[in-house]
Structure 1
Amino acid sequence: MTREQATTLPPGPRGPAALSTALMMQRPLESLLGWHRRYGDLFTVRLLAFGTGVYVADPHAIRELFTGDQSDLRAGEANAPLAPVLGPRSVLLLDGPEHLRQRRLLLPPFQGAAVHGYRDVIRDVTAAEVARWRVGDRFTLRARMRALTFEVIARVVFGLADGARTERMRRALSAVLDSSPIFLLPEALRRDLGAWSPWGRFQRRLAAADALIHEEIARRRAEADLDARTDVLSLLLRARDEDGEPMSDGELRDELMTMLLAGHETTATGLAFAFDLLLRDPVALARLRDELAGGDDAYLDAVVSETLRLRPVIDGSERSLTAPRTVAGWTLPAGIRVYPAIAVVHRRADLYPEPEAFRPERFLDGRAESYAWLPFGGGIRRCIGAALAQAEMAEVIRHVVTHVDVRPRRAEPDPVVMRGITLTPRHGTPVVVTRAARPARRPVVAA
């Protein structure tokens, strides 16, 4: 009897789903890497809300998953727990022809020339943020990066220039984000028991955010200069599918919510990770400044790539099997989630010598193989906003390291935890400003 015939699922941690979930929340990288060492390139993990899943850390098997027959793989179905906040028409929740239609409509604003045009917005927003920093100011970089990346999204996606409208949107979306773990509760526990119940409070926060998004959609439809505008919302309002049909207001709402929640939050977290790594490596920081002073961006781009390798914001790229499928010699049954294990692949010593070390130069000799560097997933489900996220990280890092000095307030690197579905620095990367772009004043202490 072959191994394929003898087993259905690879081995994995045997404890209850609640224990595996707690370990993933508190020590996600350590847990995944430990399970990989113990069980091999495929291991099974049972998690609350997401059920039973198999992590795949074999790049060749991941290539087959991303490039082979997709008919029995459902990424949208795997992302179903996100539906309460993203909405049923989000590109992250669609599969098959519906997903391809939505993806084609969304791609143009996030490609080539369009992303290049957004760099000026990123530079302006970053300069305004950093100009407010003073010597002695203490804050968490993730909090400041969240504010910065939201401002970028507000301008790039919505074309918002009105500070009051941007602030209203930021407050509403932040309220939804801050209650995000609630939507991972089992459906049976999602009960609106009034304004003070967790689910009821979440529903009211979501309704307030939805109202503002629909208000912006209606406002933009009525603008006389709609055809001349270059923000993403205007481009999507003008977009037509192969049948000449536009996106509905419901589709627009779900895609805008996806961009707002997934786009700005993940980029802010990536930036917090980047500074936590870079500020603790004086050699890398000095080299970056020297290269930028000489007009060479290659090392800057390598810093972004190495950050996303060592600190990916997503631990795995989900797929659900609708039929049995053989993956790396294991026959997996229908109904199982398969996770190409981003965080584990990024720490393989056969792909990245000294995998725990922060070494941006490893990306100077060329890009990593497609299925060895996966911070944005891969295949037809690769993150649409990948180019914008990388451009935003590069421009923010460039401005910060050339205009100010900040020092970590913690002796050790910030531990990585999982909040909702993303990996984040536990303490938000707390820093103190030691050199500012403008004269010093009395220190301001912020969270």
Structure 2
Amino acid sequence: MPAIREPAWAQTVRFAARPDLFMERYHERFGDVFRAKIRGFGTGRNVFVADPRMIEQVFKGSPSALRLGEMAGIAVEPIAGPTALLNLDEDAHLKRRKLVLPPFHGERMLKYTSITAEAADRSLRTWPTDQAFAMRPHMANITTEVVMRAVFGVEDGKRQHELSHAVLNLIGTDLLGTLTLTFPQLRRNFGASRGWTKIQHNKEIADRLVYEEIRARRSAPDLADREDILSMLLQTELSDADIHDNLLEMLVAGHETTATALSWAFDLILHEPAVLRRLQDELAAGDESYLTAVVQEVLRLRPVVVTAQRVIRQPIELGDYHFAPGITLFCSIWMVNRRPDLYEDPLRFHPERFLDTRPGTYEWIPFGGGVRRCIGANFAPMEMRTVIKHVLTHATLEAASPALEKPRNKVVLMAPKNGTMVISRGRS
């Protein structure tokens, strides 16, 4: 198996700066499978895989042989807590997943759609006109309100602001805070910097407010009739601590990811006039099939999370390769979604490719796969479709720059470098 020969520190810096370019560079040089040494990500003994057949084996593999929780927990536990779904492995993970997954399916999604549309309309009323502004903060405001109402069930404006402000302070860390979450050895204070203390302080505030909400909701007389996810979880066997950890995880995993995906969506749509015209025409006619294809194509070309990882804990065989315990597999979402043997002209934004073809389970993997597939894999596209439809129906937008945004790495997310700069010409 080919291996990158550069020093581990150089590989780490290159991957941390732009994982998309890292994978493109070495995939072109070595092909679908190669070794790397990236410190602070998994075990440091890394293998990148971009072969859909091998990735299918990984996603279908034994949860005891291929684990994620021990790796994800490094960054997630200090924010969400020890029993968040991402932190768990094997039977504990599967049991918890069965409890938290049902609210993200079925008729409840219709309720969440109306909440999303209301949040989009509220945000749209605050946008400046005839001047350039970044879409991403406004998309984040929308997804934050959706999480507060759909997940936490908080409708009161003051309480919603207080809770969302506390949680966003917790996850909105600066560069030092980000590095602290990634590298546990940095969880101390350096000189005048108090990055770790700041994270701990923000977590204490967020924890207090979330537990207050949990206790208040347990005694609510209409608990059984409520449709928010917190109320549903309170009717399961989960403890208050379990519910707290999973609520915070849902916000961390679902707030910035969807806001970022929406930012990429408007960047791509506004730079492709033919797509914009067709989308507006079909939405005006009441047809949302092209909208669905647009969202699928956005997630193919600009997946927010660019790798799916597993730590090997038992010897396994994938394709023609034998892997020993202690290796971290990086399934390359970025490269699989851009394979020319799967997608004609793969770098082109062309939603039509999905109009008559459903994305392949192991060929279109923006949400990962298998038992570790993102639990928001239905919720996030619903939010995207709803927001895009509402914005394009009620506002006239244009790109503020002739060039597409360049990606910027935000720990585990690939976000538009400038937040997707647009100009609004007013509401309709």
Quick check: 1:47 aligned with 2:38? yes
Correspondence for 1:109: 103
Q: Which of 233, 245, 264 is equivalent to 1:236?
A: 233
Aligned-residue offset at 1:136: 1.8
2:80 is aligned with 1:80: no
**Residues 171-182 of structure 1 aligned to structure 2 (within 5 Å):** 171-179=165-173, 181-182=178-179
**Counterpart Cα distance in 2 of 1:381 and 1:185:** 21
1:128 maps to amino acid = R
Q: Secondary structure of 1:292's match? A: helix
Change (3 A) 1:86 1:183: farther
1:192 Cα shift? 5.0
* Number of the residue aligned with 1:224: 221
2:412 and 2:9 map into 1 onto residues whose CA distance is 16
- Asked whether 1:91 is paired with 2:82, we answer no
User: Which shows bigger deviation, 178-187 or 227-236?
Assistant: 178-187
Deviations 1:268-315 (A, max 9, x none): 000000001000000000000111111111100001000000000111
Amino acid at match of 2:233: L
Report how far residue 387 of structure 1 moved: 0.6
SS of the equivalent of 2:45 reads strand
1:280 equivalent among 271, 281, 284: 271
Per the alignment, in what secondary structure is the counterpart of residue 47 of structure 1?
coil
Higher relative contact order structure (alpha carbons within 8 Å, sequence separation ≥ 6): 1
In the alignment, structure 1 segments of 5+ residues that lack a partner are 1-9, 240-245, 438-447
Which of 66, 69, 82 is the equivalent residue of 2:62?
69
Unaligned runs of 5+ in 2: none
Residue 391 of structure 2 is matched in structure 1 by 400
Look up the match of 1:5: none
Matches within 5 A, 1:370-409: 370-409=361-400
Q: Which residue of the partner structure matches residue 205 of structure 2? A: 208
Residue 60 (structure 1) aligned to one of 41, 53, 65:
53
**Partner of 1:386: helix, strand, or coil?**
coil
Q: What CA distance in whole angstroms lies between the structure 2 residues aligned with 1:193 and 1:340?
A: 35
Q: CA deviation at 1:384?
A: 0.8
User: What residue identity is the alignment partner of 1:362?
Assistant: R
Q: Which residue in 2 is equivalent to 1:365?
A: 356
Q: TM-score, normalised by structure 2?
A: 0.95
Question: Secondary structure at 1:353's aligned position in 2?
Answer: coil
Q: Deviations over 1:305-355 (max 9, x none)?
A: 000000001111111100222222222221111121111100100001111
Write out per-residue CA displacement over residues 139-170 of structure 1, whole angstroms, 9 at most, x where no aligned residue: 21111000110001100011111111111122
Pair 1:63–1:280, CA change in 2 (3 A): same
Distance in structure 1 (CA, Å) of the matches to 2:19 and 2:38? 12
Aligned positions, number:
422
**How does the TM-score come out when normalised to structure 1?**
0.91
**2:117 is matched with which residue: 120, 123, 140?**
123
What SS does the corresponding residue of 2:37 show, helix, strand or coil? strand
**Alignment map for 1:142-221 (pairs within 5 Å):** 142-179=136-173, 181-192=178-189, 196-221=193-218
| C-alpha displacement of 1:118 | 1.0
Partners of 2:426 and 2:182 lie apart in 1 by 45
The alignment-based identity, stated in percent, is 40
Q: Indicate how the Cα distance of structure 1 residues 291 and 110 shifts in structure 2: closer, same or farther if over 3 A, else same.
A: same
The Cα shift of 1:23 comes to 2.1
Q: Secondary structure at the match of 1:43?
A: strand
CA RMSD of aligned residues (A): 1.6
Distance in 2, matches of 1:220 and 1:359, equals: 46
**What is the CA-CA distance between 1:196 and the residue it aligns to?**
4.5
Contact 1:28 1:416 in 2 (8 A): no
Partner in structure 2 of residue 332 of structure 1: 323
Partner amino acid for 2:210?
A: I
| CA distance in structure 2 between the partners assigned to 1:328 and 1:407 by the alignment | 47
Distance 2:70 2:38 in 1: 16
Q: Is the 8 A contact 1:85 1:183 kept in 2?
A: no
1:355 aligned to 2:349? no
Cα 1:93/1:206, change in 2 over 3 Å: same
| Cα distance in 1, alignment partners of residues 186 and 13 from structure 2 | 19
Query: 2: CA distance between counterparts of 1:106 and 1:404?
Result: 36
Q: Is the 8 A contact 1:320 1:337 kept in 2?
A: yes
Contact 2:45 2:327 in 1 (8 A): yes
CA distance in 2, matches of 1:68, 1:175: 37
- Confirm or deny: 8 A CA contact 2:74 2:184 kept in the other structure: no
Range with bigger deviation, 40-49 or 416-425: 40-49
What SS does the aligned partner of 1:339 have?
Answer: strand
C-alpha deviation, 1:436, in angstroms:
2.4
Once residues 118 and 164 of structure 2 are traced to their aligned partners in structure 1, the CA distance between those partners, rounded to angstroms, is 18
Query: Does structure 1 residue 312 correspond to structure 2 residue 309?
Result: no
2:245 to 238, 243, 254: 254
Q: What is the deviation of 1:185?
A: 4.2
